[in-house]
């Protein structure tokens, strides 16, 4: 491509530089405008989906002698488990084996947090935000998808 502006020869932009920039922009804009994810190519869908008073969350429930549905907050687990909600969200379409693999991957760190846990459940929680007496509270509608537990001694 010829320079559209008259440029002194010593100020010409190197061909490699032009190709790098045009290539990067082509990739960035293609992924961004079409809207596909292939990190580091991304659709830049930051908070793009409108939120309402309902949302579906994927959570962990533990059964203990005192509490049949003790929520195991992923924030209580080490960093490597904190994004587990995303793999869990893919489980409805997954095999039983895959569901059990994910459940057992989360069982170990959950036992560290809830030592008397007898069963761990992956739960789809359909939540609704409502205002009651000036306070915002979340109503839960949990639906267990898969359960696993510590091996018997």
Q: Which residues bind another protein (CB under 8 A)?
A: 3-5, 7, 10-14, 16-18, 20-21, 24-25, 28-29, 32-33, 35, 37-53, 55, 57, 74-75, 78-87, 89-90, 98, 101-102, 104-106, 129, 136
CB of 124 to another protein, least distance (A): 14
Nearer to another protein, 66 or 132 (CB): 132
Which residues, in sequence order, are bridge partners of residue 59?
123
- When the beta carbons of 23 and 68 are compared against another protein, the nearer one is 23
Residue position matching structure tokens 């290539």 = 23
Least Å distance between CB 101 and another protein? 4
Query: Would you put residue 52 in left (φ > 0), alpha (ψ -120 to 50) or beta?
Result: beta
Q: In 3D, which of 97, 79, 87 has the Cα closest to residue 60?
A: 87
> 137: left (phi > 0), else alpha (psi -120 to 50), else beta?
beta
Tell me how far, at minimum, the Cβ of 58 lies from another protein, in Å: 10
Residue closer to another protein (CB basis): 52 or 115: 52
**What is the token pair recorded at 95?**
């095999």
Q: Centre a 10 Å sphere on the Cβ of residue 123 and count the other Cβ atoms it contains.
A: 20
List, in sequence order, every residue forming a beta bridge with 127; answer none if it has no partner: 55, 140
Q: Which is nearer to another protein, 42 or 64 (CB)?
A: 42
Least gap, CB of 85 to another protein (angstroms): 7
């Amino acid at each position: 491509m010829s320079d559209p502006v008259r440029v002194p020869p010593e100020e010409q932009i190197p061909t490699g530089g032009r190709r790098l920039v045009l290539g990067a922009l082509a990739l960035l804009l293609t992924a961004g405008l079409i809207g596909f994810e292939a990190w580091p190519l991304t659709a830049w869908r930051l908070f793009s989906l409108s939120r309402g008073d309902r949302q579906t969350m994927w959570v962990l429930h533990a059964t203990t002698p005192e509490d049949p549905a003790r929520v195991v907050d992923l924030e209580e687990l080490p960093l490597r488990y904190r994004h587990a909600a995303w793999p869990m969200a893919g489980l409805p379409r997954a095999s039983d084996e895959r569901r059990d693999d994910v459940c057992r991957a989360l069982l170990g760190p959950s036992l560290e947090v809830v030592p008397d846990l007898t069963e761990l459940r992956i739960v789809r929680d359909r939540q609704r935000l409502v205002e009651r007496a000036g306070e915002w509270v979340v109503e839960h509608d949990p639906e267990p998808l898969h359960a696993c537990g510590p091996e018997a001694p």
